[in-house]
Amino acid sequence: MFEFATPYWLLLLPLPYMLWQFIAHTKKPPGVPSCSHNVAAIRHSQAELLIQLANASQKKSRLPWLWILGCALLFITAARPQWLHHDEPVKRPAHDMMLAVDISGSMLAQDFIHEDNLTSRIDISKLMAQQFLKQRDGDRVGLIAFADDAFVFMPLTTDLAMAHGFLGEIHNGLAGERTALGDAIALAASHMKDRPAKSRILILLTDGSHTTGQVSPESAILLAQQYQLRIYTIGVGTNSMAAFPRGPQQQPLYIELPLDEILLQRIAQETGGRYFHANDTQTLQAIFNDIDQLEPTNIDDPTLIPRDEWFWLPLLLALSLILLNERNRRQQVLP
């Protein structure tokens, strides 16, 4: 398949013609009579020949097609024409992972300190997930957000920079205030069931309090076992008093929102994963080490599709036309 790697350069194709028109109008001196009047300024024995030569020179310089086409071809060169071989898919070893982030009301509790500021559980979850993405190279990652409902915020993709940006858009209020923990696990299992079994990984960031949903945690565990989904649970929160924001003009309410570590440990243990508590900087590194020990699978990488660069063809044509135009310009005989 033919395509341009940087097609925005093609927007400049009319520029050479517009530039020539601008120069032609600005160079024409005001008040100079046109040759079409055929008014003789001096007497000359070859006046008729001089007029013919002048008219021929004007006709040749009216529109420098060689120069215009040469410049246009330079813009086509900058657009990088390519031929992609889609019939030759390139595979590389990687892992398929879903990141499920709890955005329920309990995740607004502020029981973390980040950069000397009180930080909510959901912000810490997003920060940890973004740090996780920065450390991965080549994996395919998707995002799930859940509260009253669970939904795929971003399907599996190898574009980790885009996933990092999508994480910044997740916030409380997108799906209610309660926690459908079982629905999130079931959605991840369903979304990844067509992926190779040895590479199905779910990283679940939550405070572990299941309060609503159509799928219970027990049923979700069975579904994860059926689809061989390995779940790494990260408990986000503490068991002490936490500041809970109430409004811009109100002081935060200090309440106890305990972390359900027992449930998170059970989910991880029964699905072949591990449980981590998000209370130190070594949590993510421990997850990295565990995942790196798992056997990867071969995935199609669209960024590695074989391609032939064809920029050299318009470049050679452009240089040839520009040189030919310069040669013709230098060979013009002035009367």
Amino acid at 256: E
Rounded to whole angstroms, what are the CA distances from 252 to 35, 209, 239, 275? 87, 21, 18, 30
The CATH class of the 91-300 domain is alpha beta
CA 297 to chain centre: 23
Sequence-ordered list of residues with C-beta below 8 angstroms from that of 12, at least 6 positions apart, any chain: 75
The radius of gyration of the chain's CA atoms, rounded to the nearest angstrom, is 34
The pLDDT of residue 151 is 92
Cα end-to-end distance, the chain, whole Å? 53
The pLDDT of residue 2 is 77
Which parts of the chain have pLDDT scores under 70?
27-63, 85-92, 279-285, 288, 295-306, 331-335
The pLDDT of residue 157 is 85
Please, are residues 198 and 294 in contact by the beta-carbon 8 Å criterion? yes
Element at 154 (helix H, strand E): strand 150-157
Q: Indicate yes or no: pTM above 0.85.
A: no
Tens digit of pLDDT for each residue in 260-310?
889 999 999 999 988 988 765 466 667 767 777 776 666 665 555 667 788
Look up tokens 């020990």; give the residue: 293
Question: 288: number of CA atoms within 13 Å, CB side?
Answer: 14
How many angstroms separate the CA atoms of 84 and 286, rounded?
40
Q: Which segments of the chain belong to CATH 3.40.50.410?
A: 91-300
The pLDDT of residue 259 is 82
Tens digit of pLDDT for each residue in 25-64?
776 555 545 444 555 555 656 666 656 655 555 554 456 7
How many angstroms separate the CA atoms of 240 and 184, rounded?
26
